[in-house]
Amino acid sequence: MDRLALDVAHLFAGGLVLVSFMLLYQDRMSGLVNNFALHALVVSLAVAWQAHIQHAPHLYITAAIALVVKAIVIPLALHRIIVQLGIHRTIETVVGIGQTMLAGIGLVALSIIVMLPITAKAGTLTQQDLAFALSVLLLGLLMMISRRNAVSQVVGFMSIENGLILAATGAKGMPLVVEISVAFSILIALIVIGVFLFRIRERFDTVDIHALHEYRGEQP
Amino acid sequence: MAIALNLLVQFAQMALVLALAPLFAGFVRKTKAHLLRRRGPPLIQPYREVLRLLRKDVVLADSASWVFRVAPYLVFATTWVAAALVPTFATGLVFSYAADVIALVALLGSARFMLALAGLDVGTSFGGIGSSREMLIASLAEPAMLMVVFTLSLLAGSTQLSSIAEFMQASDVGLRFSLALALIGLVMVAIAENARIPIDNPATHLELTMVHEAMILEYSGRHLALIEAAAFLKLLLYVSVIACVFFPWGIAVSGQGPVAYMAGAGVYLLKLAAGGLLLAVFETAIAKMRVFRVPDFLGAALMLGFLATLLLFVTMAR
């Protein structure tokens, strides 16, 4: 594999980590959803490029699914949801973007330190994909625990799935059936979550999940 | 002989940056005025400002101590030495053997330290606000700058700006994502450090959110002239650093003939014009940020620097 091909793969995979950070930084609802669409676009580009250099045509299908479902359908649905919830102009009160970013950097460093020695015997492409995929996954989890708004948590959850796709691309021999079923389960998850968001709003007049804590009898 | 030539190049470079710095600031102002459909001051207006200030008497506050009087000279001297370290039209500068890019960051840091001290010295509340805000910005901008420097040094295997520029120019660097991140981070740091628009407005004197102007409000006469000149130099320095590291084409390598030096100087002027144009367009297009958003902006720059270094480790693990 020549160096340029690897460098472009590195560009897309590293770009995915960067867009994960942009998700952490973004505090406007509609900006967040647009950023998520960009996230999905970058992951589909990364997968398509790796399909090209690995000569694995079935990965093109994965890329197409990621592009259609997650870069177009889900963002449109989320836009509809946030407009209907009336929160499309809200600026979320994020506690300490700076600290979250630093924690994120720590997570990226951790995943690189963990993944590089473990995958030392695998090919460079797999090594780099796995390291970046773990970072994207951990950043998605960080997003889920640092945000109060339920919609941002959904976006964090979806970005975790993008990280999983990247990991699956690097690993050899992931059957296409699994990928298709994962994509569909994500769609179904979106529908279920959408229903839940409206239920939460109906019940508590807000999608701030701290309302749930009080309901459970915890101290705010 | 080679050393004599390098020494000559070094002094030519020092004279060049000093001569060009006000012109560059004037060019940015003129372009901004044109973008707003105004005529704007002539290109040489910054020279006139500095010369006029040099002729005027100094008015000192009663409470000013020696720190206040000494600071402008030290600020100007450190900034000029820092600017002398950046290869503008040729590499192989003599000074770069004595001080690398980390020393450059330290020189700029000490200039900032002295300016902040001077802002506090007179005891007006405005100067104090300016100094404290400057330190807030610096505490994030400096580590971000250092992370970018580490990325470049790891890649080039050297901390000397001359060697980094030669490395970027000569070998096939390839497509490096880390370099793109480092470039964006460095541009953000440069905007913050030079008090350009999203962070601070260089065109006003009276605004509650201003940072740089608040610190130097008490200065007048030749002191103010030196501080203004240092600010022009600093802007030119950052643009030159970005140009020589990320767009090193055309820089004459030491040992080439005079034709290469002339070509290097011409290309450098073109790069400056492009940089000034981009800066003016960016400043016109964007609105000023609230002061409390500044840590987020610089936190993003710091994050980009960190990320560039981390991603570099993944690439180097091959």
> Within an 8 Å CB–CB cutoff, is residue A10 touching chain B?
yes
Nearest to A10 among B177, B296, B307 (CB): B177
Which residue reads 């600017």 in tokens? Answer: B83
State how far the alpha carbon of B4 is from the alpha carbons of A21, B9, B94, B255, in Å.
50, 9, 9, 11
Alpha-carbon span B190 to B169, nearest angstrom: 22
Q: How many helices (H) and strands (E) does chain B have?
A: 11, 0
- The residue behind tokens 């919609």 is A151
Closest residue, chain A, to B318 (C-alpha): A124
Please name which of B118, B107, B96, B101 lies closest in space to residue B215, comparing C-alpha atoms. B118
- Indicate yes or no: CB of A17 within 8 angstroms of CB of B296: no
- At B171 the pLDDT is 66
Asked if B303 and A131 come within 8 Å (Cβ–Cβ), the reply is: no
Cβ of residue B302 closer than 8 Å to a chain A Cβ:
yes
Is residue A115 a contact partner of residue A13, using CB atoms and an 8 Å limit? no
Task: Decide if A11 and B175 are in contact by the 8 Å CB cutoff.
Answer: yes
Pick out chain A residues at pLDDT < 70. 1, 91-95, 172-174, 218-220
Separation of alpha carbons A80 and A86, rounded Å: 10
Distance of alpha carbon B185 from alpha carbon A57, whole angstroms: 37
State residue B205's pLDDT score. 67
Measure in Å the smallest separation between the Cα of B296 and chain A Cα atoms: 6
- Expressed in angstroms, the distance from the first to the final Cα of chain B is 42
Give the tokens for residue B139: 């505490």
**Would the CB atoms of B303 and A105 count as touching at under 8 Å?**
yes
C-alpha distances in Å from residue A24, one per residue of A13, A103, A154, B21 = 17, 11, 13, 39
* Smallest Cα distance from A45 to chain B, Å: 15
Angle in degrees, CA A168, A173, A174, rounded to 5: 45
With CA atoms as reference, report the closest residue to A150 among A207, A196, A95: A207
Best residue in A7, A24, A42, A127 to probe B by mutation, most B CBs within 10 Å?
Answer: A7
DSSP per position, B65-89: -HHHHHHHHHHHHHHHHHHHTS-SS
Question: Diameter of chain A by CA atoms?
Answer: 59
Q: How much is the pLDDT for B317? A: 62
E strand or H helix at B194: none
Are the beta carbons of A127 and B317 separated by less than 8 Å?
A: yes
Query: What is d(CA B79, CA B84) in angstroms, rounded to the nearest whole number?
Result: 9
The reported pLDDT for the residue numbered B250 is: 83
- What are the b/e assignments for B274-286, b being 16+ CB within 10 Å? ebbeebbeebeee
User: Other C-beta atoms within 10 Å of A1: how many?
Assistant: 11
Instruction: Give the tens place of pLDDT for each residue, A45-74.
Output: 999 998 888 888 888 888 888 899 889 998
CB B208 within 8 A of CB B112: no
Cβ-Cβ contacts under 8 Å, B178 against chain A: 14
Cα dist from B180 to A128, B95, B107, B188, B191, whole Å: 18, 28, 26, 13, 17
Number of helices (H), then strands (E), in chain A: 9, 0
Give the separation between CA B74 and CA B63, rounded to whole angstroms: 20
Q: Does B300 touch chain A (CB under 8 A)?
A: yes
ipTM value for the complex:
0.81
8 A C-beta contact, residue B154 and residue B182: no
- Terminal alpha carbon distance of chain A: 55
Among candidate residues B149, B87, B141, the one with its CA nearest the CA of residue B312: B149
Q: Where are the alpha helices (DSSP H) in A66-119?
A: 74-85, 97-118
Residues 6 or more apart whose CB falls under 8 angstroms from that of B33 comprise B39, B40, B41
Between chain A and chain B, the number of residue pairs with CB atoms below 8 A apart is 64
Low-confidence ranges of chain B (pLDDT < 70): 1, 171-172, 205-209, 255, 317-318
A3 to chain B, any CB pair closer than 8 A? The answer is yes
Q: pLDDT tens across B103-120, in order?
A: 999 999 999 999 999 999
CB contact under 8 A, A108 and B174: no
